[in-house]
Amino acid sequence: MSSRPALLVLEDGRVFRGQSFGAEGETFGELVFSTGMSGYQETLTDPSYRGQVVLMTAPHIGNTGWNDEDGESGRIWVQGFIVRDPAPRPSNWRSRRPLDEELRDQGIVGISDIDTRALTRHVRDRGVMRVGISTDTLDPQALLAKVNEQPLMAGADLVGDVTTKTHYVVPAQGEKRATVVAVDLGIKSMTPTQLAARGLEVHVVPAHTTFEQLMEYQPDGVFFSNGPGDPATATGPISVLREVLEAGLPYFGICFGNQLFGRALGLDTYKLKFGHRGINQPVVDRTTGKVEITAHNHGFAVQAPLDKATSTEFGDVTVSHVCLNDDVVEGLELRRDGDLVAFSVQYHPEAAAGPHDANYLFDRFADVLSAGKEA
């Protein structure tokens, strides 16, 4: 591992000095922290982290190395990576190479050996902000000047960077129950697999697909994935989603797909002070009162009244799930004449990395699709 010095400067001028970790060079982005004790490979490869520099609050990172199975996509998407204490040697039967080597191969600039607890507390107090990490510019004022030139996450339209260029099909496993179009706003590889495991034939399509193009696949329902950036900028997918709801097609959305659902229904989204990122966030299902431990990665959220339904042109929308830490909206349900027609969650039922408590939501979508086909 390199012992070259690296510098980290926050947009408010706070400075941390550490060691180069991963690639050498310079990088910028929005600094966010993840509290997951495990799952760094999934975090690094989650397309929703486009534009962000991720700090792991767990101090010892890299223990299980890098394997060929746990990636959520074909590459690392984070803009930079911050750890306290990198494991010098991976130890796991699936490990193919050390994390540091993989970061270097993919050109991801990181920093280690800094007080990640102090940095996390700073972000919790002041809110997320832009950051720069460099092994080249070791003068804080010079790096700060560059940090201040970077774009903000509010207003960032990043879906075009991560979406698939072409349509592809993930065939249904077992007997086919229905056809789904999954709009890729930054989809993770295991999400279509989870849908296919419920007997759904999944057509994954680029983010800019129009309603007419999407209907050519004759879907029984539509799915919108997770994705990076500010949901307010995704005006194209939002208007497609309004057409989907207008046509009465069942809908399921995850994370960004929850935020776009909210916006399609006329609700607002807003930026959280420091977001939710980790794999042990408690969420209550307000219908059953059951608590789920869930995986989160979101910096924006939907604004909706918790205690009453909001009537919209498409039906009545209610908040189905709420985060027990801070009452943030974590799920929405749209009913027409009492029947569930569309729903979404702000968290990650695909559970990569993370607990499987919320896996039932994929079953729920398959059931809504089957009910729609019978009607």
Ligand X SMILES: NC(=O)CC[C@H](N)C(=O)O
Binding site feature residues: 48, 227, 229, 256, 259, 297, 299-300
Distant-in-sequence, close-in-space partners of 338: CB < 8 Å, separation ≥ 6? none
Can you say how many angstroms the Cα of residue 256 is from the centroid of all Cα atoms in its chain? 7
By beta-carbon proximity to ligand X, the closer residue of 199 and 206 is 206
Residue 187: Cβ within 10 Å count: 29
Distance in angstroms (rounded) separating the CA atoms of residues 225 and 47: 11
Q: Which is nearer to ligand X, 42 or 357 (CB)?
A: 42
Q: How far apart are the first and last CA of the chain?
A: 61
Applying CB under 6 A, the residues found at the interface with ligand X are 48, 226-229, 255-256, 297-300
Structure token digits, residue 257: 């797909």
Angle at CA 169, nearest 5°, toward 166 and 172? Answer: 165
Closest CB 120 distance from ligand X, rounded Å: 18
Question: Which residues are part of a known binding site for L-glutamine?
Answer: 48, 227, 229, 256, 259, 297, 299-300
Residue with smaller CB distance to ligand X, 300 or 365: 300
220: amino acid identity, one letter: D
For the chain, what is the largest distance between any 2 Cα atoms, rounded to a whole number of angstroms? 67
Nearer to ligand X, 98 or 186 (CB): 186
Among positive and negative, which fits the CA dihedral 319, 321, 326, 327? positive
Backbone phi and psi for residue 293, each to the nearest 5 degrees, phi listed first? -95, 125
Nearer to ligand X, 1 or 156 (CB): 156
The least CB distance from residue 165 to ligand X, in Å, is 20
Question: CA 332, CA 341: separation in Å to the nearest integer?
Answer: 11
Closest approach of Cβ 155 to ligand X, in Å? 12
Measured CA to CA, the distance from residue 36 to residue 57 in angstroms comes to 7
Catalytic residues: 255, 348, 350
